[in-house]
Structure 1
Amino acid sequence: MQRIRVLVVDDHRIFAESLAAALAAEQDVEVMAAGSGPVALRCLERAAAEGRRFDVLLIDADLSGALTAEAGGAGDGAPPLVVRLRGLHPELRTVVLAERDEPRLAAVALQAGASGWVAKDCSLSRLLQVIRGVLREETHLPPALLTGVLRELTASRKHRSESERLVASLTPREHEVLRCMVAGLGRKAVAERLFLSPHTVRTHMQNVLGKLGVHSTLAAVALARRAGIGPVDLEQAAV
């Protein structure tokens, strides 16, 4: 009998341990609980090093940084935890555990790579059905969420298309400056990296804001992220 290896990530210790115990009662399920993102990463890395990969991640929607960017250095946010975990372990299937049904967050979860969204108070049989379903490449959402999630995904696609159109209007140099802005670099740092004068960088930044139709660096960065523009590689030497 092939066993399903499940990792529960929730900072509510009693809930995580109770859920883990309930799942472990199933003959074909092996489960471990982690109370934070860093602990989950260590569990996954240790399991991979030992040749015992996890199959399914059950993660609390309200866990800090699970579905939204975490505050990082240099004014830039680290990617959501679900994105990082899926990037490091693409074979892992993710199911989000939620206190309440929120179409917007559920849509964000799907876009981040999650395969399912279930209520924390759902029955054990329902949770097992979802776990086994996502391993068959199925996507599981509560029926009551479907309309709202589809609406959110449609709106997100429209916003992304518009953002991509605006970013495409930038010159190559303005695009470089925008990526530096996404990385959280200030005018002086951008000037040093691109071997430009601060005055020239200021002009480029103003042009970027104007072409994107925004009035602040934060708004420009948000639009760039919607368009799929990542930060400039700070480890890479400027050319």
Structure 2
Amino acid sequence: MRRIRVLVVDDHRVFAESLAAAMGTEPDVEVVATTGSASAALRCLDRAQVEGRGVDVVLVDADLGVRAPGGPGARMTWPDGAADGVSLVAQALGGHPGVRLVILADRDDPQRAAAALQAGARGWVAKDSSLSRLLAVVRGVLRDETHLPPALLTGVLGELSTARRSRTESERLVESLTPRELEVLRCLVAGLGRKSVAERLFLSPHTVRTHTQNVLGKLGVHSTLAAVAVARRAGVEPAD
């Protein structure tokens, strides 16, 4: 019988180790490791993949890294840029698309749960859920199920509906751009400055400035940062 390989990611060591020990008593579950940071989790996923024993499911704390040593309210951002468990979802799936990620949360939060699902998470589960519930979720996501607490469904669906409307409007605005304006926008999404855009597209800085102003006008925004936000909602990829 092939065992389900689970990675627990939580910076509360006692909780992580207790959960790992409890899950490890199941005959079909193998807890690969417990980690206390996003960067350590990503390294663990990479190592498991190299060894040919990839992780199946990652259980990650929604507030990973938020509770910094400075006390209540202090916030820590890990070196890899993942500020919390929701941020880790996209990073993990970027290098390990077959992994299922489930968020473990202290509280219901429709907005963050929706963001997690949009990033690719397969579930949002209360940290105080019973072991049987957590195991059901782990086994369920491997059957491509999505798990949410019933109390969150209405809020999450509302958030996703709002996000879809926003994306549709952003896509409509981006479609109004000319091919050259879209190239300039993709460069902006990639973080390039005006001089770099000019060099990349073999244009003069003045022409890039004109194209940028046209992009801002068509997108209905007043800054390149706002233009990039619209582009990301529309799914515009950064220039290579």
TM-score, normalised by the number of residues in structure 1 = 0.88
Residues in 1 aligned to 2:202 and 2:177: alpha-carbon distance in whole angstroms: 19
Kindly provide the amino acid, as one letter, of the partner of residue 3 in structure 2.
R
Residue 203, structure 1, aligned to residue 210, structure 2: yes
Residues in 1 aligned to 2:8 and 2:168: alpha-carbon distance in whole angstroms: 35
Residues in 2 aligned to 1:42 and 1:71: alpha-carbon distance in whole angstroms: 13
* Secondary structure in 1 matching 2:192: coil
Residues in 2 aligned to 1:127 and 1:202: alpha-carbon distance in whole angstroms: 54
Residue 138, structure 1, aligned to residue 139, structure 2: no
* Matching residue of 1:15: 15
Within the candidate set 118, 135, 139, 2:125 is matched to: 118
Could you say what the CA RMSD is over the residues aligned between the two structures, in angstroms? 2.1
* Matching residue of 1:56: 57
Residue 147, structure 1, aligned to residue 154, structure 2: yes
Shift of 1:118: 0.2
Kindly provide the amino acid, as one letter, of the partner of residue 15 in structure 1.
F
What is the aligned-residue identity percentage?
73
Distance 1:38 1:72, change over 3 A: closer
* Matching residue of 2:5: 5
Kindly provide the amino acid, as one letter, of the partner of residue 44 in structure 1.
L
1:56-100 Cα deviation digits (max 9, x unpaired): 1111112259xxxx9989xxxxx9421232232222111111111
Kindly provide the amino acid, as one letter, of the partner of residue 42 in structure 1.
R
Residues in 2 aligned to 1:202 and 1:152: alpha-carbon distance in whole angstroms: 36
* Matching residue of 2:36: 35
Distance 1:157 1:131, change over 3 A: same
Residues in 1 aligned to 2:14 and 2:237: alpha-carbon distance in whole angstroms: 38
Check conservation: 2:10, 2:60, Cα contact below 8 A. Answer: yes
Residues in 1 aligned to 2:201 and 2:50: alpha-carbon distance in whole angstroms: 40
Unaligned 5+ residue runs, structure 2? Answer: 67-77
* Matching residue of 1:179: 186
Residues in 1 aligned to 2:103 and 2:234: alpha-carbon distance in whole angstroms: 25
1:12-44 Cα deviation digits (max 9, x unpaired): 222222221221122221111122222112211
1:108-139 Cα deviation digits (max 9, x unpaired): 11111111110111111111111111111111
Unaligned 5+ residue runs, structure 1? Answer: 74-78, 234-239
Distance 1:2 1:97, change over 3 A: same
* Matching residue of 1:236: none
Q: Which range moved further: 163-172 or 181-190?
A: 181-190
Check conservation: 2:106, 2:127, Cα contact below 8 A. Answer: yes
TM-score, normalised by the number of residues in structure 2 = 0.88
Check conservation: 2:38, 2:80, Cα contact below 8 A. Answer: no
Within the candidate set 87, 93, 97, 1:86 is matched to: 93
Distance 1:146 1:56, change over 3 A: same
Distance 1:95 1:5, change over 3 A: same
Runs of 4+ in structure 1 displaced over 6 angstroms?
70-73
* Secondary structure in 2 matching 1:96: strand
- Count of residues in correspondence between the two structures: 225
Within the candidate set 160, 172, 175, 1:165 is matched to: 172
* Matching residue of 1:76: none
* Secondary structure in 1 matching 2:60: strand
